[in-house]
Each structure stands twice: as C-alpha cells, then as structure tokens.
Amino acid sequence: MRVIAAVVLGYFMVVGKAGSELGGPAAPKLDEGMTGPAVAELDRALGIALTDEPVAFDEALDSARRVVTPGGRVVYVPDGCRSVAQPYDLLIHFHGAPTVMEPAFERSGIGGVLAILNLGIGSGAYEDAFQDPMSLDRLLGRVSSVVRDLCPSAHAAPARIALSGWSAGYGAIFRIIDRQKDAQRVDAVLLSDGLHAGFEPDGKIKREVNVDQMAPFSLYMDEAVAGRKLMAITHSSIETPYASTTETANFLLAQHGVTRVPMQAQGPRPGMVMTSRADAGSFHLQGYAGGNEQAHADHLHSFGDNLLPYLKELWNTPRG
C-alpha cells in the first residue's frame, strides 16, 4: 500500500505539474478527501514530512506549571515542560498581581516563562533590590533553577529576556538597564503607567524632569527608535508631586524628537480613553485620560491588551 500511494501521488504531483508547464493536458486532480491520506501515507513510506502531524497532548509535558518561591516570587510556565525543553523566552514582571499577570501572559500566546516579583510599596524597594551589579544574574539563576525543578528536562537558561513593570516596578528596571552589560541582555522594556522621576535641584517650580534619573530610559529608547530593542510605554493623566508618567513620557519624546499624535479612542477597559500615541522604530507610547486610582489600576488590568502584543510580535519575528 505504501509503494502504491507513493507511486500514485508522485505521478499526479510530477506529471500534473509537467503537463501544465509543457502545454499538454494536466493530470486529473486527486479527490480532496483522498489527498490528505495519500500525502500522509507518502510521508511514512519515504520517511519525510510533507505535512505537519499534530503532536499528541501529554499531560505530563503540556500542563501549566507554577510555583511560589519562599521569597514570594512567582514562576509560571503556561504551556508546560515541552515549551522549556529548548531555549525559551523569559518575561520578568515587577509589581503586579499574579491573578492579573498570569492570565494576561497565557492569553498573549508568547509562551516561555513568566516570573513575577512583588517587593513592596514604592519604587525604593525595587531600586534597592537591584542596586547590586550581580542582582540580575542572581535572579536569572534562581528563575532557571525553579524552572528546572518544575521541568527536569528544561533548557539551562532563557534565550531571550524582557522586563516589564507597573507602577513602582519601574524602580527595578531603572537599576537593571542603568548597567550597560545588563541593558544589552534585555530584549524589551514594557512600562505600564509607572515611569516616574524627580525634578532637577533648581527646577521644581518649573517641573524640570531630572535628566540623570531618566538617562537609562533615554539610552534604551535610543536603541528602540533604531529598531535594536523594544520599548513600549502606557501612561495615565494622573498628577503627582514628583514627575508624573505624562511628564516623563514627554521628556523622552522631546529628547528623541518624536511627536505625539492626538486622538480619541476607546481603550481596552470601560472608561479608558486613549488620547494620544507615538511610534518611532520599535518605540511605542500610548497616552490615556484618567487621573484617579482606578485609572492607574486600569493600566495593570489592560497590560495584556496594551503592551504584550508588542512583545509577541518582537519574539515572533525572525532575527536578521
């Protein structure tokens, strides 16, 4: 049967093509219901794969895995152990409820591993935790160890790394990308209504954003505008005694000569209205109305809709 299938299908594939190219009568097409089985039989007969055969679901390999470490870190593998048996992608998120972040990551279709760190209230806790030059290395080592505990056949380490933060979580990202060796290792930075800064010593009245505190983000934006990294930001319109997320966004846009486009568009959650956006290379910014606590919380709950699609596109695009 295998030989017959190979000969019959080979005849229709080769003669049909040659006949049409030479101007002669094309061979009759196989009935649609016969094509699939014949191709599959040919695959098996010749030992090659002309069709994609689905991989059978394996409960032991394909079920989601999750662990909460003694330090309160969450490591989540939504697609199971098969997804980390080869070099995998890792998103590290700072400051955000796992009940929000895990479903958002799973729905995104990014795959790989999500690590969530919640270190307390205020950006200072995050800045302090990642002030040490080896802090990112230690975190990556711990995450890799947990992944191997969950999946003994897991690859030794992640292939690509992205950092994201909501609210105070930007403090960790500030410290990490302020070190050139770490910034080079990070594929993407996603900031959800959380990029704050102080003011210049003599510029509080004029609300002049502190240049030094913004320098790591400005340098990373250089890379994003050039298309070498991804940087995506959302911000509300909340006013704060320190530089607000609107003011820091305006600072970055002015530094790089990128213009906002005003608009009025419904956001991903009721009450969210996008009032502007800006795009340059692989830098993306979305500005929203809203000046209260609910508006701030909306940016966490809409993280999967507003920011994760950019990361999925980046990691689904083959590198040149």
Question: What is d(CA 22, CA 11) in angstroms, rounded to the nearest whole number?
Answer: 16
At residue 53, the pLDDT reads 56
To which residue do tokens 């990014």 refer? 110
| pLDDT mean over 285-290 | 98
Per domain, the residue ranges of the chain are 2-46, 61-316
pLDDT band at 49 (very low <50, low <70, confident <90, very high): very low
Whether pLDDT at 142 is above 70:
yes
At residue 55, the pLDDT reads 63
To which residue do tokens 């954003």 refer? 209
Question: What is d(CA 310, CA 283) in angstroms, rounded to the nearest whole number?
Answer: 10
pLDDT band at 202 (very low <50, low <70, confident <90, very high): confident
Closest among 264, 195, 196 to 234, alpha carbons compared = 195
Question: What is d(CA 310, CA 193) in angstroms, rounded to the nearest whole number?
Answer: 16
Whether pLDDT at 14 is above 50:
no
Q: How does pLDDT run across 68-127, given as a tens digit for each residue? A: 987 778 999 999 999 999 999 999 999 999 999 999 999 999 989 999 999 988 999 999
Q: How does pLDDT run across 207-240, given as a tens digit for each residue? A: 999 999 999 999 999 999 999 999 999 999 999 9
| Average model confidence (pLDDT) across the chain | 85
pLDDT band at 301 (very low <50, low <70, confident <90, very high): very high
Which residue did the predictor score with more confidence, 33 or 186?
Answer: 186
The helix, strand and coil proportions of the chain, stated in percent and rounded to the nearest 5, come to: 45, 20, 35
| pLDDT mean over 34-59 | 48
Calculate what percentage of the chain has a pLDDT beyond 90: 73
| pLDDT mean over 60-72 | 83
| pLDDT mean over 190-198 | 97
Q: How does pLDDT run across 243-273, given as a tens digit for each residue? A: 999 999 999 999 999 999 999 999 999 999 9
Which residue did the predictor score with more confidence, 318 or 177?
Answer: 177
| pLDDT mean over 18-26 | 38
At residue 70, the pLDDT reads 78
At residue 162, the pLDDT reads 98
Whether pLDDT at 132 is above 80:
yes
Whether pLDDT at 9 is above 50:
no
Whether pLDDT at 48 is above 60:
no
At residue 220, the pLDDT reads 98
Q: How does pLDDT run across 155-177, given as a tens digit for each residue? A: 989 999 999 999 999 999 999 99
At residue 256, the pLDDT reads 97
Question: What is d(CA 257, CA 253) in angstroms, rounded to the nearest whole number?
Answer: 6
Superfamily of domain 61-316: Alpha/Beta hydrolase fold, catalytic domain (3.40.50.1820)
**For residue 251, with 0-12 CB atoms within 10 Å meaning exposed, 13-18 middle and 19 or more buried, which class applies?**
buried
Q: Are 252 and 209 in contact (CB under 8 A)?
A: no
Strand-pair category, 230-235 with 186-192? parallel
| pLDDT mean over 133-149 | 95
